[in-house]
Structure 1
Amino acid sequence: MKFIHTSDWHVGKTLKGRNRLDEHKAVLAEIVALTRAHDVDAIVISGDIYDSSAATADAQRLVVNTLMTMASDGVEVIAIAGNHDHGGTFEAYRPLMGRAGIQLFGQARARDKGGVYTFAARSDDSPVNVAAIPFLSQRYAIRAAQLIAPGDNVPARNVGSYDQWVRNIVTHLGEGYDPAGVNILTAHLTCTGGTFGGGERVAQSIFEYHVPAAIFPIETHYVALGHLHRRQELPAAAPVHYSGAPLPVDFGEEDNTPVVVLVETEPGKPAKVTDLPITAGRRLRTLEGSVEELRAQVDAAGDDWLRVRVKQSTYAGLRDDILEVLPNALEIHIHPDFTATSSGKVSSAQVASKTPAELFADFCAHVGSDDKRVKALFDTLHDELTSTR
């Protein structure tokens, strides 16, 4: 059987105030096209479908239409909630979406209460079992483990670590595997040793939120993870993969390669994994140089969203000059090499001994500005404010 693994769509994400819904629309249309081109049995979406737990109506409309299009093509759609999603809303819509052939998981469940979704692959009738673990906060991981596998979580063990609670859930769900079928596990979490993509919520990715990849049982044909935005495979007994984000959400992700993962597998055989590039959506790029050097990079920048680091001292109108030639610049900063490096404190006596013009000149030097027009404007305003007329 064949399925596509994807995650971290972050539909509704804005970048420095710029709405990216049209980009997401193009990306999701490309993913739909790939499910059709490769005639897959299923698509597994490993969390963070939305960027916000209070997703806008436009974002929800785009996601729902996309999922319903896939389901209407006969594709099994399995999606779990990530830390950006609202798990309760996923659960509220679970019965309705289930009628449409879309399996939503907003909370962890026991294997006999929907925690493992089973279907027959349309391509070869292979029995397929998908164990689902949506994002678990530290507090909810304990609660979920107690509800799902109470025998393994007596009160005396309530001091267990986050990875132990998740391990208990993984073990419990793995007991629902079929040795004669294809067994898949999807989760939204951080695996120890995984590489961050650059746009993740760090507070929900570090500290106690790590789990080792070794917790996933060898009987799992494929572990489909979400949360880290960089495409990567982690060493483990089972194939453990992050698909990465199909659209970079922050400039820290500009070097990531957006893909979805095509997985081909069958009972008793290892999974074959192929990355399918995602070409829709605008890329993120950082440019550096003086204003003149930046002008020379216009053609290379194309339609990308830009972060600009200016390698010269600032002056009045610099930002406007850059935006005139690079209208897609969302961030404009003076490179640290061209800002004042002095970190010494100035005493009150030193301040009192200087004129306002001298103090302003010191400030301009500190921020790396040597624009005479700014100093002249300060002098004019100072004269107006101090004039006795």
Structure 2
Amino acid sequence: MRILHTSDWHVGKVLKGRSRHDEHIRVLGQVVDIARQEQPDLVVVAGDLYDTATPTPDSTRVVTRALSALRQTGAQVVAIGGNHDNGPALDALRPWAEAAGVVLRGAVRDNPDELVISGSTAGGERWQMVALPFLSQRYAVRAAEMYELSAAEASQTYADHVARLIARLSEPFAEPGVINLLTAHLTIFGASAGGGEREAHTVMGYAVPATVFPPNAHYVALGHLHRAQRVIAHCPVRYSGSPIAVDFGEEENICSVAVVDVSADKAARVRDVPVTTAVSLRTVRGTLEQLATVDAPDALLRVIVRETPRVGLREDVQELLPNALEVRIDPDMMPDRAGAPAQRAGRSPRELFGDYLDNRGGGEDGVRELFDELYDEVSAQS
């Protein structure tokens, strides 16, 4: 059978105030096009469909249309909730999903047997899947128990609970002639986080060893880490990565989906198919003169400026580079203010403000005079 594995769509993502709604429509449109070309029997979406637990109606529309379009390619579709998703809210969409022919599992609920899904391909190959949504440490390890444990003990307890849950759910994998699959939203020890500015969401308290997966699984489709990669384990384990770089920390990731060919008696073969329709993210550095030579009209930019800090510098950069979403001063260009707090005692606001401007290159013409006028006006009213 053939599987298309994708994850971490993060629909609704806003980058430095810039909506990426149109990008997500293009990116997920290309994922659907890839499914039409590859004709998978099964599409797996391994969590983080949304960027936030409270998605907008527009974001919900994008996700539900994408899932429906994937189902309309002829593939069976299974999607699980990730740590950014609202699991119960996804489960509330299950009546829609079932009507659309999509299997949706948002959260681990009281009946774990609901997390085991089975099906067959048009060619008659039988498959079964453990579909494990994101399981928070607070849910897996009771709050009272967490307070009694050290951080290391809580982490180990979480990993033990996940291992027992997967072992229980994968008991049917002993049946011969059936393709055994598992999808989960997890951090695996030793995997590459893949950059990103939100590393806190992959804290090691949620990490588990690859030994939690049963050796008789034919393929494990993971979500959570945004860099496509293979995980060393006793069975084929892979992160598909995100089809869109969600922030500048991921600008070097190659966005893709994984296409997997697998059968009950042959090892899984995996191909990464690039997704190219998102706007590229780039970090550029230099003086204003150097930045004036940057040619990146179609990229969103993070700019590191090698200039002395001054009023109006950000505006000068954005005039040169209108797509600069973030402008930072190179730390090497920041003045050394060591000892400044000790110099405040007994000094007037005018003197302190004058030092502030001197440490930043003197400021614009007239700034000192304007401060004096404002200070005199405030002083007269007090």
With normalisation by structure 2, the TM-score equals: 0.90
Tell me the SS of whatever aligns to 1:176: helix
SS in 2 for 1:324: helix
Structure 1 distance, partners of 2:373, 2:138, is 62
Q: Does 1:263 align with 2:257?
A: no
Q: Does 1:377 align with 2:382?
A: no
Q: CA deviation at 1:114?
A: 2.2
8 Å CA contact 1:108–1:132 kept in 2: the answer is no
| Counterpart Cα distance in 2 of 1:356 and 1:109 | 61
Structure-1 residue corresponding to 2:353:
360
User: What count of residue pairs does the alignment treat as equivalent?
Assistant: 366
Question: Paired residue for 1:164?
Answer: 160
SS at match of 1:236: coil
Q: Which residue of 2 aligns with 1:307?
A: 302
Q: 2:290 aligns with which of 278, 293, 296?
A: 293
Q: Does the residue aligned with 1:43 lie in a helix, a strand or coil?
A: strand
Per the TM alignment, residue 240 of structure 1 is displaced from its structure 2 partner at its CA by 1.1
Q: Check the 8 A contact 1:185/1:220 in 2, yes or no.
A: yes
Deviation at 1:64, TM superposition (A): 0.6
Q: Distance in 2 between matches of 1:160 and 1:283?
A: 39
Unaligned runs of 5+ in 1: 144-157
Aligned to 1:326: 321
Contact 2:183 2:221 in 1 (8 A): yes
Cα displacement (A) at 1:316 = 2.9
- Determine the structure 2 residue equivalent to 1:83: 83
| Fraction of identical pairs, as percent | 42
Letter in 1 for 2:132: I
Which secondary structure does the structure 2 equivalent of 1:44 belong to? strand
Give the CA deviation at 1:303: 1.2
* 1:94 aligned partner: 94
Determine if contact 1:288/1:310 at 8 Å carries over to the other structure.
Answer: yes
Give the CA deviation at 1:342.
3.1
Q: Given the superposition, is the C-alpha separation of residues 98 and 384 from structure 1 closer, same or farther in structure 2, using an over 3 Å criterion?
A: closer
Q: Determine the C-alpha separation between the residues in 1 that align with 2:355 and 2:326.
A: 26
322 and 71 in structure 1: CA distance in 2 versus 1, 3 angstrom threshold: same
Contact kept, 8 Å, 2:197 with 2:249, in 1: the verdict is: no
Quickly say closer, same or farther: Cα 1:93–1:58, change in 2 above 3 A.
same
211, 215, 224: which one pairs with 1:214? 211
Distance 1:199 1:330 in 2: 16
Instruction: Tell me whether 108-117 or 377-386 shows the greater mean CA deviation.
Output: 108-117
For residue 192 of structure 2, give the secondary structure of its aligned residue in structure 1: coil
Residue 310 of structure 2 aligns with an amino acid whose one-letter code is: Y
Q: Distance in 2 between matches of 1:200 and 1:134?
A: 23
Asked whether the equivalents of residues 257 and 277 of structure 1 are also in contact (C-alpha less than 8 Å), the reply is yes
Amino acid at match of 1:338: M
Contact 2:197–2:247 (8 Å) recurs in 1: no
Alignment of 1:1-389 (within 5 A): 1-108=1-108, 113-122=113-122, 124-142=123-141, 161-177=157-173, 178-199=175-196, 201-297=198-294, 299=295, 301-347=296-342, 351-353=345-347, 356-366=349-359, 368-373=360-365, 376-383=366-373, 385-386=375-376
Distance 1:241 1:127, change over 3 A: same
Q: Report the Cα offset of residue 113 of structure 1.
A: 2.8
Distance in 1 of aligned mates of 2:256 and 2:139:
31
1:364 to partner: Cα distance:
2.6
Residues of 1 paired with 2:110 and 2:197: CA distance? 28
Partner residue in 2 for 1:152: none
Letter in 1 for 2:70: M
Specify whether residues 237 and 159 from structure 1 end up closer, same or farther in structure 2 by C-alpha distance, changes over 3 A only.
Answer: closer
Unaligned runs of 5+ in 2: 143-153
Aligned mates of 2:109, 2:235 — CA distance in 1 = 22
Compared CA separation, residues 97 and 381, structure 1 to 2 (3 A): same
How big is the shift at 1:287? 0.7
Counterpart position of 1:150: none
Q: Deviation of residue 108 (structure 1)? A: 2.8
- Secondary structure class of the residue paired with 2:94: helix
Deviation at 1:197, TM superposition (A): 2.6
- Aligned alpha-carbon RMSD (Å): 2.2
Q: Is the 8 A contact 2:49 2:82 kept in 1?
A: yes
